[in-house]
Amino acid sequence: MSKLNIVIATHGKFGEEIIKSAEMIVGKMNNLKSVSLMPSMSFEDFTKEADAVLSNLSGDTLVLVDLYGGTPCNVFTALTKKYNHNVITGLNLPMLIDLYINTNDSNDVNVKEVIENCISILKTSCVHTNTMLD
């Protein structure tokens, strides 16, 4: 069994920058790809780039996207029929760090559990800090 492939797909350079931010905390990250939808790109250009990234991966793949219903989400979701990967929206830094730490050293990943954990981290990482002052 191979390691979990992680693909980050976002509008603009957000994906590339969130990876850099995560690397400040966990160090160099492997088995991670980023696909950026830039303003100059057409839908077709982005689809070709997404397809090229997925076609070079083997094993389980999880795609983290920034926005439900946006082009990165729609393209990677449409490509699930071809590549059988999973897509999760709402990418944030705690989700990425936790996902990477919990899957990087393992060749035996339960994808369903990984997805459930990502969603759990996403839900718990949003905090109204003012309420913590009481």
- More confident of the two residues 59 and 71: 71
pLDDT, residue 20, reads 98
- More confident of the two residues 25 and 132: 25
Domain of 35 in residue numbering reads as 5-133
Query: pLDDT digits over 31-64, tens only?
Result: 899 999 999 999 999 999 999 999 999 999 999 9
pLDDT, residue 108, reads 83
CATH code of the domain containing 67: 3.40.50.510
Q: How far apart are the C-alpha atoms of 48 and 29, rounded to whole Å?
A: 25
- The arithmetic mean of pLDDT across residues 103-118, rounded, is 90
C-alpha distances (whole Å) from 127 to each of 57, 72, 93, 130, 131 are 35, 26, 14, 9, 9
Contact 37, 23 (CB under 8 A): no
pLDDT, residue 107, reads 76
pLDDT, residue 2, reads 65
Domain count, the chain: 1
Percentage above 70 pLDDT, the chain: 99
